[in-house]
């Protein structure tokens, strides 16, 4: 199996800091996540009003991907970039919020706008919509970041020619504990696409 | 050349039976798991397909005395148990679990911790029961999860990381999900009617299903099915409504056909998603027509089982395998008059029909779609 | 009804997370869906919940929402006529 792919871009968002390709682009030490991510959204001029309807997981994923895809020349209608994301807590952060809207039978007003985010793959849907990614996508859940799986799955998509670019990501969010590590795999780029490099990006 | 990958065993746990054969016969007789329920899960009585707790407990007690499993976990174990005892588990055996919400009801009980609701906790418990040696791969991708899990198994075996895989899919009825679908005005007040003019939405259901997938040619027999192509493409349109042109589903089917090197006119039967919402069924009709598949016999099995969410893609594949092994078409229950704008060939009577190739499709929230093509080895 | 309209504008911005829009920018007769505020199908469902939660109105046929939620004006008129809270 050919293994000549490269990592073209990577973005890490953790501890209220945003890194693109290893360089800190934004940080905001004191704020809670909602204020931090809103400030980051404004600084990076994402310009996408639907951002404010998203849940925490989707906002986190959205921003990490936006920074990477800004570097590419995407078109307005149709782009083929596969999205393969994973995390540990699925959509539990939002699930807990939704549960509280049905917990009290006296004040029983289930919210459709919250319910729709009680599936972890919705963050992938949001990304696909914004960037017109009519391409392969999947969401997995693992106890911890699984570089071996992500590496092999991305290579399989590329080798079987189902796509020529893969956005891989670990996007974990639960109650102010969060980490996003998103990287773009394709034919050309600065870093080698292998398990060691992927783990280095994750652990830095 | 990519390794060839086969489904050689199946099983399912539903209100219609605790094995594939019983389920197939029940469905042929027109039985449905959908009933009217009055419970504290919803304020008004509601239709759903629910397995009796007692049936599960009695079946489970035959294989374990343990009291530490939830109903859903018991259902997962019961689905896998007959096939795991037959095959060896190695360090190259994948364990793939598909679910949308897992033990989400754990959140309703304040005695529980968040760990009780984690999908990883559920997967670890099921894995430990059988002694799987690899880290569980959990697929949680809305309602395509069950059939996507088959594609994941095939793709991961083709990477060489695994030789075989046990794939299990399941979801349980919960207040969490019932209330959510209700808030979307997506629940029908009657048993669902996929593709029908009078359809008014989904009926929910619970089930588990399991398949054993292998690249070992020695395990293949004439009732096995080769997984010859797959595609899982996003609509990139809206997070809760499907593309009006069926773009993602069209491309998923295209990808599967291309990989299989198969012409669309070779497909003998389609097991579609057919949730009975206005938009989903219409979208599927459009996508099938775009591929020239309007004359291929097609059904939705949700009239028998309800929409079993993370289980649906796998459960319906298991029934389709029974259907194909017997060369007999299963009626699309709940359908009377065509309610989609583009014609499709909904199966309205049981009849013999040679099935060599069948297509399984699914779609879900988040704009996801999955299509998988199967070839009978007979 | 003026107070109700102002109240509705505030609630819509808050409940539907319309961060970039200020209450002053919403005119009584602007279309809420389609071109105007650009609300979508999930927003329509949330407005149905709002009618129930804040005004005690349960919509028996959600399709009625199309006419009721045409604009702030039509919403206010409907609520005034049907509110139980």
List the single best residue of B99, B163, B183 to mutate versus A (max A Cβ within 10 A).
B183
Contacts 24+ apart (CB under 8 A), B110-116: B114/A92, B114/A96, B114/A174
Using CA atoms of A77, A81, A82, A85 in order, give the dihedral in degrees to the nearest 10.
-100
Superfamily classification of domain B228-376: Thiolase/Chalcone synthase (3.40.47.10)
CB B140 within 8 A of CB A141: yes
By the CB < 8 Å criterion, does B241 face chain C?
yes
pLDDT for residue A2 is more than 60: no
- pLDDT on residue A132: 96
Positive or negative torsion for Cα A93, A94, A98, A100: positive
Q: How confident is the model at residue C34 (pLDDT cuts 50, 70, 90)?
A: confident
Q: Could you tell me the pLDDT band of residue C61, with boundaries at 50, 70 and 90?
A: confident
Least confident of A70-84, A176-190, B32-46, B339-353: A70-84
Task: Verify whether the Cβ–Cβ distance C17 to A53 is below 8 Å.
Answer: yes
Judged against a pLDDT cut of 70, whether residue B305 lies above it is answered with yes
The whole-angstrom distance between A121's CA and the closest CA on chain C is 17
Rounded Cα–Cα distance for residues B265 and C45 (Å): 41
- Best A115, A157, A193, A195 residue to mutate vs chain B (most B CBs within 10 Å): A115
Tokens of B311: 């289980």
Position C36 pLDDT exceeds 80 = no
CA distance B27 to B319: 9
A156, containing H or E segment: helix A147-159
Contacts of B71 (CB under 8 A, 6+ apart): B53, B56, B172
B215-249 pLDDT per residue, tens: 999 999 999 999 999 999 999 999 999 999 999 99
**Tokens of residue B11, six digits:** 């099983």
pLDDT of C10 = 95
Q: Is the pLDDT confidence value at C57 over 70?
A: yes
Contacts of A138 (CB under 8 A, 6+ apart): A83, A84, A85, A121, A124, A153, B139, B141, B148, B152, B232
A198 vs A3: CA distance, rounded Å: 14
Decide if pLDDT at A3 tops 80. no
**Continuous H helices in B188-277:** 247-260
Report yes or no: B22 at the C interface, CB cutoff 8 Å.
no
CA distance B217 to B329: 28
Which pLDDT does position A75 carry in this prediction? 84
If we measure between CA atoms, which residue out of B99, B150, B95, B101 comes closest to residue B370? Answer: B150
Q: Which residues of C touch B183 (CB under 8 A)?
A: 45, 49
- B19: buried, middle or exposed (CB in 10 Å: 19+, 13-18, 0-12)? middle
The structure tokens 């059988």 sit at B130
**Two tokens at C78?**
């409907």
C46 and A49 within 8 Å at the Cβ level: the answer is no
B86 pLDDT tier (thresholds 50, 70, 90)? low
Q: What is the pLDDT of residues A18-64, one digit of tens each?
A: 999 999 999 998 789 999 999 999 999 999 999 999 999 999 999 99
Q: Is the dihedral of CA B185, B190, B195, B198 positive or negative?
A: negative
What is the sign of the dihedral through the CA atoms of B322, B325, B326 and B331?
positive
Residue B87 clears pLDDT 80, i.e. is over it: no
* B74, pLDDT greater than 70: yes
Q: Which residue has the tokens 């929409």?
A: B307
pLDDT class for B363, splitting at 50, 70, 90? very high
CB atoms within 10 A of CB A103: 13
Question: CA B65, B52, B332 angle in degrees (round to 5)?
Answer: 130
With left for phi above 0 and alpha for psi between -120 and 50, is residue B50 left, alpha or beta? beta
| Mean pLDDT to the nearest integer, B266-289 | 98
Backbone angles phi, psi at B98, to 5 degrees: -110, 130
Q: Residue A147's pLDDT band (boundaries 50, 70, 90)?
A: very high
pLDDT at A72: 87
Residues of chain B with CATH 3.40.47.10: 6-219, 228-376
Across chain B, mean pLDDT equals: 97
Whether the predicted pLDDT of A71 surpasses 90 = no
Rounded to the nearest angstrom, the minimum Cα separation between C35 and chain B is 17
Burial class (CB in 10 A: 0-12, 13-18, 19+), B289: middle
Tokens of B185: 């005005």
Residues in contact with A91: Cβ distance below 8 Å, sequence separation at least 6, in sequence order: A55, A57, A117, A118, A119, A120, A122
Give domain B6-219's CATH architecture: 3-Layer(aba) Sandwich (3.40)
Does the global pTM surpass 0.90?
yes
The secondary structure element, H or E, covering residue B342 is none
Closest Cα in chain B to C63: B185
Out of B184, B238, B239, name the one closest to residue C45 (CB): B184
**Residues in C touching B238 (Cβ below 8 Å):** 40-41
């Amino acid at each position: 199996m050919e293994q000549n792919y490269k990592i073209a871009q990577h973005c890490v968002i953790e501890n209220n800091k945003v890194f693109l390709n290893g360089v800190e682009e934004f940080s905001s030490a004191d704020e809670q996540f909602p204020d931090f991510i809103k400030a980051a959204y404004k600084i990076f001029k994402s310009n996408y009003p639907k951002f404010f309807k998203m849940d925490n997981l989707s906002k986190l994923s959205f921003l990490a991907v936006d920074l990477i895809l800004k570097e590419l020349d995407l078109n307005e209608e149709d782009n083929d970039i596969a999205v393969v994301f994973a995390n540990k807590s699925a959509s539990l952060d939002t699930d807990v919020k939704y549960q509280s809207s049905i917990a009290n039978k006296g004040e029983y007003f289930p919210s459709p706008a919250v319910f729709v985010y009680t599936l972890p793959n919705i963050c992938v849907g949001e990304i696909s919509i914004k960037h017109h990614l009519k391409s392969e996508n999947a969401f997995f859940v693992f106890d911890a970041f699984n570089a071996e799986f992500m590496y092999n799955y991305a290579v399989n998509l590329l080798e079987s020619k189902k796509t020529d670019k893969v956005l891989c990501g670990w996007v974990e969010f639960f109650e102010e504990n969060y980490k996003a590590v998103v990287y773009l795999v394709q034919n050309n780029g600065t870093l080698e696409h292998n398990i060691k490099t992927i783990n280095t990006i994750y652990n830095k | 050349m990519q390794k060839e990958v086969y489904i050689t065993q199946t099983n399912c746990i539903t209100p219609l039976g605790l094995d594939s054969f019983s389920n197939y016969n029940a469905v042929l007789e027109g039985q449905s798991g959908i009933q009217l329920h009055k419970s504290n899960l919803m304020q008004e009585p509601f239709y759903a397909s629910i397995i009796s707790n007692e049936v599960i407990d009695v079946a489970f007690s035959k294989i374990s005395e343990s009291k530490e499993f939830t109903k859903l976990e018991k259902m997962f174990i019961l689905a896998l148990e007959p096939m795991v005892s037959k095959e060896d588990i190695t360090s190259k055996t994948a364990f793939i679990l598909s679910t949308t919400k897992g033990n989400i009801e754990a959140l309703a009980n304040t005695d529980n911790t968040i760990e009780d609701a984690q999908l990883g906790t559920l997967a670890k418990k099921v894995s430990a029961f059988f002694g799987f040696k690899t880290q569980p791969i959990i697929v949680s991708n809305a309602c395509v999860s069950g059939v996507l899990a088959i594609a994941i198994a095939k793709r991961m075996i083709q990477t060489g990381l695994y030789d075989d895989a046990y794939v299990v899919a399941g979801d349980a009825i919960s207040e969490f999900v019932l209330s959510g679908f209700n808030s979307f005005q997506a629940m029908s007040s009657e048993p669902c009617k996929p593709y029908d003019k009078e359809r008014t939405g989904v009926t929910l259901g619970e089930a588990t299903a399991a398949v054993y997938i292998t690249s070992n040619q020695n395990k293949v027999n004439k009732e096995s099915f080769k997984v010859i192509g797959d595609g899982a493409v996003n609509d990139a349109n809206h997070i809760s409504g499907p593309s009006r042109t069926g773009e993602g589903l069209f491309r998923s089917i295209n990808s599967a056909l291309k990989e299989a090197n198969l012409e669309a006119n070779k497909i003998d039967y389609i097991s579609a998603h057919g949730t009975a919402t206005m938009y989903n069924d219409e979208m599927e009709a459009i996508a099938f027509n775009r591929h020239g598949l309007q004359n291929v016999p097609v059904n939705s099995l949700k009239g028998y089982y309800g929409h079993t969410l993370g289980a649906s893609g796998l459960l319906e594949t298991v029934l389709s395998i029974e259907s194909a092994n017997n060369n007999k078409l299963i009626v699309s229950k709940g359908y009377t008059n065509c309610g989609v704008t583009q014609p499709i060939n909904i199966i309205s009577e049981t009849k013999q029909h040679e099935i060599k190739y069948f297509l399984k499709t699914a779609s879900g929230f988040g704009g996801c779609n999955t299509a998988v093509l199967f070839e009978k080895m007979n | 009804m003026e107070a109700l309209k102002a109240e509705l504008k505030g609630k819509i911005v808050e409940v539907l997370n319309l961060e970039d829009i200020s209450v002053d920018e919403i005119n009584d007769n602007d279309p809420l869906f389609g071109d105007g505020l650009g609300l979508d199908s999930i927003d329509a469902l949330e407005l149905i919940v709002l009618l129930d939660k804040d005004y005690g109105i349960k919509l028996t046929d959600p399709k009625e929402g199309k006419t009721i939620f045409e604009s702030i004006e039509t919403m206010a008129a409907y609520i005034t006529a049907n509110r139980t809270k």
